[in-house]
Amino acid sequence: MSFRILILLSFAFTLYGQQIQLNLDHLAKKASRVENVNIDASTMKSAGSLLSVRDKSGQIMKMISGLQGICVRSFRFEKPGAFSDNDVDRVRRQLRGHGWTQIVGSNDEKAGKIEEVYLHSTDGRPDGLVVLDVKPTRFEAVNIVGSLDPKALGAIGAEAQKQ
């Protein structure tokens, strides 16, 4: 995933748990490799407590405490053209329902790259986020659920650069 998308996410929003269950079965059937990562709140807190030994400022635990879950779906394809624009549009249609807004969009047709970020809001309050990262032989979708403190992310990034 593009570093600039991650930077935008780190500064963009405080999220409140809106989980969307994307139907990606049509991609899984065409992929040569499928990877699924599901991290719930208790798993994040357990991992955070292990990392807290190195986290003297407590920023990792602060960031993790507001998250309810992270879901990542990654599909690898043998060759370009294994999935179509229609397959990508099928996923996008799921993110065009009530409350969803595309907040970041980058489309490099020549390179076959698409990067998009969608935000869900209810009554003006952000409560869901989905990131799509598409390349000719790869399709990835990331869903972050829960409150995410941009200040904590920034502090973690600054701490990582010191090490």
> Given pLDDT bands bounded at 50, 70 and 90, which one contains residue 6?
very low
Tokens of 4: 């600039």
Instruction: Count structural domains, the chain.
Output: 1
Tokens of 106: 């980058």
- 85: how many CB neighbours lie within 10 A of its CB? 10
pLDDT tens, position by position, 66-90: 677 789 999 999 999 999 999 999 9
Percent helix, strand, coil in the chain, to 5, is: 35, 35, 30
Q: Which stretch, 44-53, 94-103, 119-128, has highest mean pLDDT? A: 94-103
Domain with 97, as residue range(s), is 3-162
**Between residues 114 and 128, the one the model is more confident about:** 114
- Output the pLDDT for position 57: 67
pLDDT at 117 over 90: yes
- Distance separating alpha carbons of residues 137 and 59, to the nearest angstrom: 36
